[in-house]
Structure 1
Amino acid sequence: MATASARQGMPMPPAPNREDIGATWNYLQHGIDRIMVNLQDGMDLATYMGIYTAVHNFCTSQKAVGLGGPNMGSQAHRGGTDLPKVLDATSAKAFLFRVAHLLGEDLYKKLIEYLDNHMEGLCNKSIAHTDEALLAFYIKEWDRYTTAAKYIHHLFRYLNRHWVKREMDEGKKDTYDVYTLHLVRWRDKFFNVVVKKVMDAVLKLVEKQRNGETIEHNQIKQVVESFVSLGLDEHDASKSTLDTYRFHFEEPFVAATKEFYDAESKQFISENSVVEYMKKAETRLNEEEERVKMYLHNDITGPLRKACNEVLIANHKDVLRDEFQVLLNNNREDDMARMFNLLNRITDGLEPLRQKFEAHVRNAGLAAVTKVASDAEKLEPKVYVDALLEVHTQYQGLVKRAFHDEPEFTRSLDNACREFVNRNDICKAGSNKSPELLAKYTDVLLRKSGTGVEEAELDATLTQIMTVFKYIEDKDVFQKFYSRMLARRLVHSNSSSDDAETSMISKLKEACGFEYTNKLQRMFQDMQISKDLNNGYKEHTKGLSLDKPLDSSYSILGTSFWPLTPPNTQFNPPAEVQADLDRFGRYYKNKHDGRKLTWLWQLCKGEVRTGYCKSSKTPFTFQVSVYQMAILLMFNDKDVHSYEDILSNTGLNSETLDGALGILCKAKVVNLKPDGGKVGPNTTYHLNYDFKSKKIRVNLNIGTKTEQKQEEVETNKTIEEDRKLVLQSAIVRIMKARKKMKHSQLVSETITQIKSRFVPKVSDIKKCIEILLDKEYLERLEDDELGYLA
């Protein structure tokens, strides 16, 4: 047989006898050589059609020279188109198909033989090439060969449509269409021989690039594409797989990558700091991602990333984690972000970081509180809340910027904040201190002239208040203090803004639900009802033609909604005040018959104008409590009163009277006799005609520290009593639904239901269970079980 190179310049032979396999193949081989070797010179249409026709004619001929055994060949030759008389029509048809079948098979085998010889020639040529030269040779031959295969596939279209299709339909595993046959022979006879050398050349080229050299990466891309094209499904030739690519390219590439980075990373981290190593690892990981985009197949992305993560990160994770605390202590945000991104690529890489972060934030919060908590009694609420917020804001920003708001880091931040908000040096004095101070700071913000902040700034500050509120465990404590302070602001018309008050209540409602703010909203409703009632009362008094009517207003507060208690002392209002009270009482009774009014004297206030001071031409206006008003009005009759006279006239108890007198004496509105004496029995009080003040309106209605302390004690006592009722209600509610329950399960379920309001103590729950047993709401059953009694 002549070689392809020897036939390149030979002219196309004449069309063969359609029945002669030898002549037909010689003719076809000449054309195939031109396509396989000199395709760049082109092929005229006549030659193309000649080859196509020769394939068609041979496959459709009914006679063949040298086809099968001597009997078949001679019989077919002698008989022409006449079949032996012993065959019927069906048998004749089968015989013709078998002949066509054998003719197609012979042509197919000739093509395989030709391709195998061609592959043998390529193997011999490849021996002379190594490294990049081998890659260039491989790529060049692959391009030439596959392009030729497409042309030959079209020329053998008839063979594909009939013989090949029939063979494949019959389940012949080693029969392929002509193009696929070219790929199979390339793979089996050439690729499997040179693939090791080709991959060695590829890996050397990649290593050069990793070491900073510039390479022709398009060569690798073409090699990868050829490996992918050779992925033929052995069970279904019409399908392709990535098995060849994965076995011959992906696996060795990933293995070489691991080996390269394993050695490099160990050396680099031993000679450089952890931060520098992280930068190096980050650069290498980005390079590999870019390498996939440039010339690798997307399928390698997962295995390559996994390999890089293992050798660059997982193998050094302990060293990285040990450095995290140093970065936290020095606030190295960029480096923490880098470490987060690296360790986030491996399984459970971040958990130790989260634990360290949580402990660090907790300690930072505790330290911030300790710094401002030198005297818990004198601690300003604003200073305390600002200290909490500063720590939260700092580390919330870190979570956002460095940790990308990762949910688990956010949870670690929340856990840490919850710890230092509820269990710090201030809370040691009383577990309710955080919610109490937060409520007091809110009161300062919402009171008139409390801060002088703009409305937008106020709303932002209230939002920050809610940030701390979110972490408070004893939300019922905040509710108690807040509601009492809100009540005072509303009663004394001392709110900076109704919109701000409403906004705060909306925030609380969103955080804790309708029930939490129900009473607060009803307090606002009562104030609006009171406003309408006062307007009606003023219209009513206009028709009475009074000589000197008081400019009074009244607030009607629903007992169930306002956290206020009756005064702890008797009181005789001044005659002028009592007269107006009686008129209003009659007016209100006509409007709402059957309702009882209880006067909350401790919340009443008023203004008294003076005309006795020698030092001021303009009369002073004293803003006073109703108790102070009663005392001052007594000096209209005479300038000196004994302690006993005042006590008798006002009806106040000594404790309340001492507080009211103490402020008047301190402001020098009245003077004590003897000088230097103390407020109390055996003392007389003189009106001070020499009273001086830079202000025309003088506020004397100032709460004493004793009163504030007493109010705190009363509030905390109320909280404890309310908690017992809440716990009992929860226990009854649970048992009513379950009927029977183990003691330990009941305790656990009660904690679950109550913890949104406060964290109950197990001992308190057990006490409440005992109370309910005594009251016969519950009964003891066998095996430590409790039952519900309807």
Structure 2
Amino acid sequence: MASTEDIANSVWAEIVPTIDAILGTVNRSLPPDIFMKSYTAIITFCTATNHTQPTTSSTNRGAQIAGGELYYSFKSHITSHLQKMVLESQGHNDESLLIFYSKKWLAFTVSCRILNHLLGYLNRMWIKRVAEENIGEVFDINTTCLILWRDHFFKTLHPRLLPSMLKMIYRERKGETIDSGLLQTITDSTVTLGINDIDSKLTTLDLYQTYFEKEFIEQTEIFYKAESEIYIGSNPITDYMKKAGIWLEEEENRVKSYLHQSTRDGLIAKAEIVLIANHATIIQDQFQPLIEKDKIDDLTRMFGLLSRVPSTLERLRDLFLNHVKQQGLDAVRKVQESMAEIAASGAATPVEEGEKPARKSNSPLEVDPKTYMEALLFVHTKFAAITVAAFKSEAGFVASLDKACREFINRNAFCTTGSSKSSELLAKYTDSLLRKGSKINEDNEIEDLLNGAMTIFKFIEDKDVFQKFYTKNLAKRLVNSTSASDDAEASMISKLKEACGYEYTSKLQKMFGDMSVSKDLNSEFREKMETSHGKQDIDFSILVLGSGSWPLYAPTSGFNIPQDLIKPYERFLAYYQSKYQGRKLVWLTHLSKGELKTNYLPGNKTYTLQVSTYQMGILLPFNTALTYSWDELLQTTGLNPETLQGNLALLVKAKILTESDKKYTLNDGFKSKKLKVNLNIAIKSEQKQESDDTHKTIAKDRELVIQAAIVRIMKTRKTMKHVQLVQEVIAQVQARFKPQIPDIKRCIDILFEKEYIERMDGQKDMYSYVA
């Protein structure tokens, strides 16, 4: 009986021509019957059971299945075939070598698949059984072919293949057109050849990375280091930024074209270091000139580059912050200079209707709130747009913009005594927007302006100062019926509520509630009076306002209500007390107003005089006499001398009265271009006093807020060090205002005296809560 080896040699001799034909080593086609004959011969050999010798000595189970001789003969034959190809490659170099390798690889992979089919039964029988027991030694025919190609062809050609590939890539980087498909075929082959020698199912990129990627990235670094230095040396940085962007884009396209996707991160990271990080300082140095000239495209390009290396953005953010801050300070300084020029020239600064123009003096300049706010908003709007367009709203640049705005809004040429000035001016600005006479006709326009005011509001530190002045101004608008739009008022309060919460606006909303109640109250009172007393001679209306919500103060002067108003006054008082028992009304005569008509002028010329109640009390007595002395008016009105003097001065200045030797006479020669003459004008000194009083109130309120925060913290913590307590207090109240350290210390001392807290024995800087 023939031995297994003899049979195997016979079968091998029969199938080797077919294998050579598939490999393309003989120049003839392979007829289908020849392929099937070889296929059948392999099956017959593998299924034979009467072989006298084992097919392999690896295991007993493997010895029972024929096929080992064919497998090892096949490996030897393929190895010989590949070695001949290596010799054939000797005549090729550079691109010719790449073409040679690419063609051979494509042909070989096709041959491998056909051979895998030809020897398919060997795969399913002997190879499968033996591979399970001899890990890393035996693989299926296709994998075996690829491993042999890797070990006997690729690795042998690699020392010549890699330089040829890198040379072609260098030519492409220098602007030549190359056959990228050729490079893709070769890099794909190195990926395909990343077969795990233990388990062929676990492919890796080790071969690709070791035999190509590593050297490729190193050459990339060398190339761009040289190119970037040459380019920067002979071109402006703005042009270099464009060029660096193009280079990076080309590398991205290179990955898509013929590199494995896994190369991208390492390749781009290396390119970013060489092209960006290594030249970051010289690129950053161009930021200031570019932003000063509003070069948005170049700034966008700079940010796009440097954002690839995040650590390089920090200096840009600092430069941006300082630039915006300086632009804001410069804008405010220009406003200040403009105000100074107006004052120096004697021209009138913008004032409310009826006010006296500011006279030249050594007192601090009064800034126009509108001019001031428009200057602040212009700077913010400009650089907010740049932040979006050039810096893509990156969080760091947004933070830098916000910090810069907080600085120049709260600490500028007008904020010499603290940051509260901007808060006060913002309140006055919003008052000018919401008051009648603002010359804003479109709802959309006022909404945009209010949004602008809220932009500034976001940055002011003393939000409590704004709240106080805004509340006072709102009270005046409501009491004097000078609000331009209820919708606009509601919109502003809604914005404040959204920004600071319900507590911040609760009193403002209650004020509107009081106005609604007062409207219903007036209607009901008129109906009752008409029913019981007939049609009223005097149009009398009142506002009943809650003392807890309205920033109103009791009058500082006495006042005798004129006889003409006594009846409606007493009737309303009786009506209200019958409706609301136990409630007390405090009459704020200094805030009341009315209208008087003139019937004494020659030619029956009639004017309507808009007056305060105090002025009304001064003028009504002139219905019975044309002249009164100072003492008579003092006794009749019941006003204190200071209040009487101020109001008489206004009436004399308006030429309603004439004065001679402390006697006041009704002026029958009074003339005015307007039929309605407003005499109810706030006296400048009173406005200044009101502002000072408001700031004093704010200081007292702050003291209470700080004390409440300290007690709240200590009640929770029980014991606490001084430094930690101060930090906690600042954290709690800074949403309303920025507390000063001395103020916090003073409040701590007050709470010591009130015995809310005490020092712990032997520890001066440790406090404890007194329950």
TM bracket (short chain)? over 0.9
Aligned partners of 2:4 and 2:53 also within 8 Å: no
| Alignment match, 1:779 | 758
| Alignment match, 1:450 | 438
Aligned partners of 2:123 and 2:140 also within 8 Å: yes
Deviations 1:120-179 (A, max 9, x none): 111011110111111111111001100000010111111111221222211431211110
Q: 1:282 to 1:179 in 2, by over 3 A?
A: same
Among 648, 651, 659, the alignment partner of 1:664 is 651
| Alignment match, 1:23 | 10
Aligned partners of 2:593 and 2:613 also within 8 Å: yes
| Alignment match, 2:703 | 724
| C-alpha deviation, 1:544, in angstroms | 2.6
Among 439, 442, 448, the alignment partner of 1:460 is 448
| Alignment match, 2:724 | 745
The 3-state SS of whatever aligns with 2:67 is: helix
1:45 and 1:275 map into 2 onto residues whose CA distance is 67
1:389-428 alignment runs, 5 A limit: 389-428=377-416
The 3-state SS of whatever aligns with 1:695 is: coil
Q: Which has the larger radius of gyration?
A: 1
| C-alpha deviation, 1:696, in angstroms | 1.3
Q: Greater CA deviation, 545-554 or 336-345?
A: 545-554
| Alignment match, 1:687 | 666
1:732-771 alignment runs, 5 A limit: 732-771=711-750
Aligned partners of 2:4 and 2:54 also within 8 Å: no
1:732 and 1:18 map into 2 onto residues whose CA distance is 100
The count of aligned residue pairs is 741
The 3-state SS of whatever aligns with 2:533 is: coil
The 3-state SS of whatever aligns with 1:659 is: helix
The 3-state SS of whatever aligns with 1:756 is: coil
1:707 aligns with 2:686: yes
Q: Greater CA deviation, 247-256 or 513-522?
A: 247-256
1:641 aligns with 2:620: no
| Alignment match, 2:676 | 697
Query: Which one-letter code corresponds to 1:646 in the other structure?
Result: L
Q: 1:501 to 1:66 in 2, by over 3 A?
A: same
| C-alpha deviation, 1:608, in angstroms | 0.6
Aligned partners of 1:19 and 1:58 also within 8 Å: no
1:471 aligns with 2:452: no
Q: Greater CA deviation, 505-514 or 156-165?
A: 156-165
Among 156, 165, 168, the alignment partner of 1:205 is 168
Deviations 1:454-487 (A, max 9, x none): 1111011101100000001010000000000001
The 3-state SS of whatever aligns with 1:298 is: coil
Aligned partners of 1:20 and 1:65 also within 8 Å: no
Q: 1:549 to 1:188 in 2, by over 3 A?
A: same
1:223 aligns with 2:186: yes
Aligned partners of 2:19 and 2:115 also within 8 Å: yes
2:293 and 2:26 map into 1 onto residues whose CA distance is 69
Q: 1:695 to 1:259 in 2, by over 3 A?
A: same
Among 56, 59, 70, the alignment partner of 1:107 is 70
Q: 1:200 to 1:164 in 2, by over 3 A?
A: same
The 3-state SS of whatever aligns with 2:584 is: coil
| C-alpha deviation, 1:642, in angstroms | 1.9
2:433 and 2:310 map into 1 onto residues whose CA distance is 47
1:36 and 1:561 map into 2 onto residues whose CA distance is 98
1:660 and 1:544 map into 2 onto residues whose CA distance is 37
| C-alpha deviation, 1:249, in angstroms | 1.6
| C-alpha deviation, 1:765, in angstroms | 0.9
Aligned partners of 1:608 and 1:621 also within 8 Å: yes
Deviations 1:201-241 (A, max 9, x none): 22111111111111111111111111111011122112211
Deviations 1:247-290 (A, max 9, x none): 11211111111111110001111111111111111111111111
1:354 aligns with 2:317: yes
Deviations 1:49-96 (A, max 9, x none): 222211111122234488689xx9xxxxxxxxxxxxxxxxxxxxx97x
Aligned partners of 2:419 and 2:461 also within 8 Å: no
2:746 and 2:690 map into 1 onto residues whose CA distance is 27
Among 535, 549, 564, the alignment partner of 1:561 is 549
Query: Which one-letter code corresponds to 1:787 in the other structure?
Result: S
| Alignment match, 1:232 | 195
| Alignment match, 1:514 | 502
Which runs of no fewer than 5 residues in structure 2 stay unpaired?
340-363
Among 29, 34, 37, the alignment partner of 2:21 is 34
| C-alpha deviation, 1:562, in angstroms | 0.6
The 3-state SS of whatever aligns with 1:215 is: coil
1:577 aligns with 2:565: yes
| Alignment match, 2:515 | 527
| C-alpha deviation, 1:648, in angstroms | 1.7
1:282-321 alignment runs, 5 A limit: 282-321=245-284
1:17 and 1:718 map into 2 onto residues whose CA distance is 112
Aligned partners of 1:19 and 1:64 also within 8 Å: no
Query: Which one-letter code corresponds to 1:170 in the other structure?
Result: E
Q: 1:670 to 1:159 in 2, by over 3 A?
A: same
Which runs of no fewer than 5 residues in structure 1 stay unpaired?
1-15, 73-93, 674-681
| Alignment match, 2:612 | 625
2:528 and 2:675 map into 1 onto residues whose CA distance is 32
Deviations 1:286-315 (A, max 9, x none): 111112122221111101101100110111
| Alignment match, 2:582 | 594
Aligned partners of 1:462 and 1:504 also within 8 Å: yes
| C-alpha deviation, 1:688, in angstroms | 1.5
Deviations 1:390-440 (A, max 9, x none): 110111011000000000100000011001111111010443110000000
Deviations 1:492-544 (A, max 9, x none): 11111111001000100000011100111111111111111111100111023
The 3-state SS of whatever aligns with 1:20 is: helix
Aligned partners of 2:55 and 2:63 also within 8 Å: no
1:414 and 1:126 map into 2 onto residues whose CA distance is 67
TM-score between both structures, scaled by the size of structure 1: 0.91
The 3-state SS of whatever aligns with 1:373 is: helix
Q: Greater CA deviation, 648-657 or 551-560?
A: 648-657
Query: Which one-letter code corresponds to 2:664 in the other structure?
Result: Y
The 3-state SS of whatever aligns with 1:608 is: strand
Aligned partners of 1:21 and 1:65 also within 8 Å: no
Q: 1:517 to 1:98 in 2, by over 3 A?
A: closer
Deviations 1:319-345 (A, max 9, x none): 111221121222221111111111111
| Alignment match, 2:770 | 789
Aligned partners of 1:135 and 1:219 also within 8 Å: yes
| Alignment match, 1:61 | 48
1:38 and 1:187 map into 2 onto residues whose CA distance is 20
1:294 and 1:704 map into 2 onto residues whose CA distance is 80
1:52-91 alignment runs, 5 A limit: 52-64=39-51
Aligned partners of 2:300 and 2:390 also within 8 Å: yes
1:550 and 1:476 map into 2 onto residues whose CA distance is 41
Query: Which one-letter code corresponds to 2:615 in the other structure?
Result: Q
The 3-state SS of whatever aligns with 2:767 is: strand
1:99 and 1:61 map into 2 onto residues whose CA distance is 12
| C-alpha deviation, 1:546, in angstroms | 5.1
1:320 and 1:644 map into 2 onto residues whose CA distance is 81
The 3-state SS of whatever aligns with 2:658 is: strand
Q: Greater CA deviation, 107-116 or 740-749?
A: 740-749
2:469 and 2:530 map into 1 onto residues whose CA distance is 40
The 3-state SS of whatever aligns with 2:439 is: coil
